[in-house]
């Protein structure tokens, strides 16, 4: 309901970039073993331009949420198997350690005593005696202590002496030769021992057996792991550390390893072939016998991908599969992205068809399922509502979902929030493309308005129906927002995604042109005041569009791809020879060059704003340097906004709050100049 004041409805105002400071973000839900409470991470922006993260609890019966920790630097909470304690990661002076706190409250105690480094993940053993922790120690030359000594002595920054091509990751920075390795931590005294270090890149997954005697580990020991994936599954004795590979498994990537509650089966997300997890191919759900191998593809008969990830700017884009076993080990609940929504589906542990348990234009995700009561810890959002914590209960063919928190409701009720409408358009070759439209709130249906076409990154991801702050800000400023999932996007079957493998600027451009025609066909859109923008691959398509058409009055290319030849060797994930694209970037660059937007930008006339982070390791800033130099040489109206090296490729989603706001104002200023 709309807040009331003295009997009258409060007048709503338009949303602004600064409103991000009032948002509450929630994530990482974990339901207690008895199904009575959900633990989650609550985040908001503090008064010092910082993110404040604490652990909160909310009863599944619908009671009030309460704060559990208060340091402002606590994330990733996990219940012990008996529900008596909660472990979480706390950053102390920039160094993460695992803390443990009784469920009933009290003082948190620092459990781990790791040297300076990073913690990727941890899991309780079912008997509560140990934690398995993926930890990476910081390169000794780059610790805080080493920096302090250099300052005292006047020494220079040390060089990076590299022997491996894998030494950096966007958002993670430069780790040089260090890798995540598996440690076992004693939950009584915090002592730790390293038990596994075979994964070449440090991307392994792991899980405890229900009897706490073994750990299953999915890791890739190959020296070619960065170019082709062939994950092995190992069984490790938790006491001795001895490992044995599970035989008879198909080659290919394997991740999110989960032991069934009855201890008889291992589930993993994977596929056959050498492509890594991020691929046009569907990522599928598999099970295997931990003793005999005998892998079975449960979802191979369906055209769904477990990595159809919806992109928004009010939640992190986590490119990984989400699923969990039912308590009786007879089925699994799986998160599936489909047509822009994210739904919970169920599949039998013996295989068959997915049974969708949720529906509608919602962005669902979930954590674990309780051993008792069958409660599923969930996060829910839609286009007009920020993410909130919910609980799901499987009842027959449906998942009964109940929202448990309303942190953002009161504030959002004071704002004019624009809804979205879904449409399907037909491309020139007959292909169907889904498009969403967001009209400026408060505008009459007949008033002509300028319009902005947003193109998502990836490209193998999808725009979805979650809350997108940037879109809402544009609509509030008077622009119609169009966004779609052209070929290359996930969530429409493997053929839709694979249509652009090694062929960017082909079928995807055909689809984008169909969306442009759809925009022009709307009588209320001012055809002379249309703009295009996008980030990452969306920046690629923005560059491609203005190199192939003069339809747009303005463009914004953000953290873009412009030259695939130079990007092939400058990205944290280098382009492998004769894999996704034909050829290579040194003596057979023809295919890469043919699909590089920079080749076609010599005749660009569209005024263009360029946005990039100097710390972007995914799409190196040299990609935007080339665009800026070319456009300035050609006297095209151009502005270049370079964010500092402390920011990364995902700045618009998780960067410093003040810079996220600055970026939105740069976008508004550009559109005001060329579209308004």
pLDDT at 397: 83
The rounded distance, in Å, linking the Cα atoms of 499 and 608 is 29
The rounded distance, in Å, linking the Cα atoms of 44 and 72 is 9
* Contact in structure between 216 and 209 (CB atoms under 8 Å): yes
Q: Please list, in sequence order, all residues whose beta carbon lies within 8 angstroms of the beta carbon of residue 257, skipping any fewer than 6 positions away.
A: 205, 206, 207, 216, 217, 218, 233, 266, 267, 268
The pLDDT of residue 8 is above 70: no
Note the pLDDT tens digit of each residue in 577-605: 999 999 999 999 999 999 999 999 999 99
**Could you tell me if residue 307 is inside a domain?**
no
Note the pLDDT tens digit of each residue in 540-582: 999 999 999 999 999 999 999 999 999 999 999 999 999 999 9
pLDDT level of residue 619 (50, 70, 90 thresholds): very high
pLDDT level of residue 396 (50, 70, 90 thresholds): confident
Token representation of residue 214: 């073994």
Note the pLDDT tens digit of each residue in 630-641: 999 999 999 999
**What H or E segment, with its residue span, contains residue 591?**
helix 590-594
**Could you tell me if residue 477 is inside a domain?**
yes
Find the domain containing 533 and state its range: 417-674
Q: Residue 497's closest CA among 533, 537, 539, 548?
A: 537
**Structural domains counted in the chain:** 1
Range 114-142 average pLDDT: 98
pLDDT at 275: 87
pLDDT level of residue 6 (50, 70, 90 thresholds): very low
**Could you tell me if residue 17 is inside a domain?**
no
pLDDT at 444: 87
The rounded distance, in Å, linking the Cα atoms of 171 and 79 is 28
**Could you tell me if residue 2 is inside a domain?**
no
**Could you tell me if residue 638 is inside a domain?**
yes
pLDDT at 10: 74
Range 7-27 average pLDDT: 90
The pLDDT of residue 130 is above 90: yes
Rounded to two decimals, the pTM is 0.96
pLDDT at 488: 98
pLDDT at 372: 87
pLDDT at 2: 38
**Could you tell me if residue 263 is inside a domain?**
no
Give all strands (DSSP E) within 551-645, no chain letters: 554-558, 608-613, 638-643
Backbone angles phi, psi at 219, to 5 degrees: -145, 155
Compute the mean pLDDT over every residue in the chain, rounded to the nearest whole number: 96
The pLDDT of residue 120 is above 70: yes
Please classify residue 52 by burial: count the beta carbons closer than 10 Å to its beta carbon, then call 0-12 exposed, 13-18 middle and 19+ buried: middle
Backbone angles phi, psi at 41, to 5 degrees: -95, 125
Give all strands (DSSP E) within 125-275, no chain letters: 130-137, 168-169, 173-174, 181-186, 192-196, 205-208, 214-219, 232-237, 243-245, 254-259, 266-270
Q: Residue 467's closest CA among 611, 338, 320, 310?
A: 310
List the strands of the sheet with 95-102, edge to edge. 74-79, 85-92, 95-102, 109-110
* Contact in structure between 31 and 404 (CB atoms under 8 Å): no
The pLDDT of residue 7 is above 60: no
* Contact in structure between 625 and 633 (CB atoms under 8 Å): no
In the chain, how many H helices and how many E strands? 11, 44
The pLDDT of residue 315 is above 60: yes
Range 221-225 average pLDDT: 94
**Could you tell me if residue 630 is inside a domain?**
yes
**Could you tell me if residue 33 is inside a domain?**
no
Q: CATH no. for residue 426?
A: 3.40.50.1820
Range 393-417 average pLDDT: 95
Note the pLDDT tens digit of each residue in 444-491: 888 999 999 999 999 999 999 999 999 999 999 999 999 999 999 999
pLDDT at 317: 67
The pLDDT of residue 4 is above 70: no
pLDDT at 1: 37
């Amino acid at each position: 309901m709309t807040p009331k004041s003295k009997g009258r409805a409060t007048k709503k105002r338009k949303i602004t970039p600064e409103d991000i400071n009032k948002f509450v973000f929630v994530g990482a839900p974990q339901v207690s073993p008895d199904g009575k409470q959900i633990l989650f991470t609550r985040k908001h922006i503090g008064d010092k331009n910082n993110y404040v993260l604490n652990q909160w609890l909310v009863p599944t019966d619908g009671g009030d949420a309460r704060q559990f920790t208060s340091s402002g630097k606590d994330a990733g909470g996990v219940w012990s198997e008996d529900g008596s304690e909660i472990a979480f990661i706390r950053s102390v002076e920039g160094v993460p350690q695992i803390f443990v706190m009784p469920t009933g409250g009290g003082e948190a105690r620092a459990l781990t005593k790791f040297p300076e480094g990073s913690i990727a993940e941890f899991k309780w053993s079912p008997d509560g005696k140990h934690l398995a922790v993926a930890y990476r120690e910081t390169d000794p030359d780059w610790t805080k202590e080493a920096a302090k000594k250099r300052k005292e002595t006047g020494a220079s920054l040390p060089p990076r002496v590299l022997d491996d091509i894998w030494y950096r990751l966007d958002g993670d920075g430069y780790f040089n030769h260090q890798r995540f390795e598996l440690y076992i931590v004693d939950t009584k005294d915090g002592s730790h021992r390293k038990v596994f270090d075979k994964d070449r890149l440090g991307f392994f997954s792991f899980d405890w057996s229900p009897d706490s005697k073994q750990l299953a580990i999915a890791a890739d020991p190959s020296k070619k792991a960065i170019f082709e994936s062939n994950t092995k599954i190992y069984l490790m004795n938790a006491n001795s550390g001895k490992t044995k590979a599970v035989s008879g498994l198909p080659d290919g990537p394997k991740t999110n390893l989960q032991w069934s509650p009855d201890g008889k089966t291992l589930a993993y997300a994977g596929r056959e072939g050498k492509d890594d997890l991020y691929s046009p191919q569907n990522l599928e759900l598999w099970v295997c016998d931990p003793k005999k191998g005998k892998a079975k593809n449960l979802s191979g008969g369906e055209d769904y991908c477990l990595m159809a990830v919806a992109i928004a700017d009010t939640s992190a884009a986590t490119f990984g599969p989400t699923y969990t076993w039912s308590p009786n080990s007879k089925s699994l609940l799986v998160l599936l992205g489909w047509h822009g929504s994210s739904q919970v589906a169920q599949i039998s542990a013996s295989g068959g068809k997915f049974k969708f348990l949720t529906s509608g234009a919602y962005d669902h995700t979930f954590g674990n399922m309780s051993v008792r009561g069958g409660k599923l810890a969930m996060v829910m959002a839609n286009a007009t509502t920020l993410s909130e914590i919910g609980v799901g209960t499987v009842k027959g063919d449906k998942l009964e979902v109940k929202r448990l928190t309303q942190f953002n409701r009161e504030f959002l009720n004071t704002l004019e929030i624009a809804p979205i409408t879904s449409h399907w358009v037909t491309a020139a070759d007959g292909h169907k493309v889904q498009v969403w439209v967001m009209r400026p709130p408060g505008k009459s249906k007949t008033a002509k308005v300028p319009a902005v076409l947003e193109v998502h990154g990836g490209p193998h991801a999808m725009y979805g129906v979650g809350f997108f702050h940037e879109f809402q800000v544009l609509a509030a400023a008077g622009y119609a927002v169009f966004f779609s999932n052209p070929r290359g996007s996930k969530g429409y079957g493997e053929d839709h995604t694979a249509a652009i493998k090694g062929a960017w600027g082909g079928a995807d451009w055909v689809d984008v042109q169909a969306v442009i025609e759809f925009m022009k066909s709307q009588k209320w859109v001012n055809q002379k005041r249309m703009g295009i923008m996008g980030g990452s691959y969306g920046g690629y398509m923005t560059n491609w569009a203005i190199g192939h058409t003069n339809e747009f009055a303005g463009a914004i290319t953000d953290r873009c791809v412009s030259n695939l030849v130079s990007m092939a060797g400058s990205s944290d994930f280098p382009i492998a020879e004769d894999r996704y694209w034909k050829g290579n970037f040194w003596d057979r660059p023809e295919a890469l060059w043919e699909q590089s937007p920079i080749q076609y930008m010599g005749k660009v006339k569209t005024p263009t704003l360029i946005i990039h982070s100097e710390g972007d390791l995914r799409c190196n800033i040299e990609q935007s340097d080339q665009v800026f130099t070319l456009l300035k040489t050609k006297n095209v109206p151009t502005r270049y906004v370079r964010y500092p090296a402390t920011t990364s490729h995902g700045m618009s989603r998780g960067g410093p709050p003040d810079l996220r706001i600055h970026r939105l104002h740069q976008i508004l200023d550009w559109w005001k100049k060329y579209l308004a």
